[in-house]
Amino acid sequence: WPIRLVNRPLDILSASALQPTASDDDYVLGDWAGTEFVSPAADEAKLRVLMHVVDQMFDRAEETLRHTHHRLRCWLQTYYLRHFRPAPFQSLQTTAARAGYIAIWKRFICYVFRV
């Protein structure tokens, strides 16, 4: 990555991954080569909605997982073709781990939609 990103605006790239604020203003990502890079307020509003949808998506996935049969969750957790692993696929164990995992997804989605 250091070779691919040499002479690139790392501040703009990292700002692109931040979650949108509650403000209804444009989000200034930064300045590069005399050009200001801005995410318009309308796009930021869409990202705020999308961040809420990501929360709903994970809530729904966890709800589905809670109602999925134990053996099927074991098959989801396995690498083998002929037999399943006895430990079932399960959601993250701590609230902090869950929040961190979802935050990474949100950063990725913000980056993709802004870049």
Domain boundaries, the chain: 10-114
Are the CB atoms for 29 and 44 separated by under 8 Å? no
Q: What would the mean pLDDT of 85-101 be, rounded to a whole number?
A: 92
80 band by pLDDT with thresholds 50, 70 and 90: confident
Confidence of residue 15 (pLDDT cuts 50, 70, 90): very high
pLDDT tops 90 at residue 16 = yes
User: In the predicted model, is pLDDT for residue 47 greater than 90?
Assistant: yes
CA distances from 92 to 25, 86, 99 (A): 35, 18, 9
Using pLDDT thresholds of 50, 70 and 90, give the confidence band for residue 74.
very high
The reported pLDDT for the residue numbered 10 is 92
Compute the average pLDDT of residues 67-71.
94
User: What pLDDT is stored for residue 4 in this prediction?
Assistant: 86
Tell me the three state secondary structure of residue 27: strand
pLDDT of residue 69: 94
Q: What is the pTM of this model?
A: 0.84
Looking at residue 56, what is its pLDDT?
98
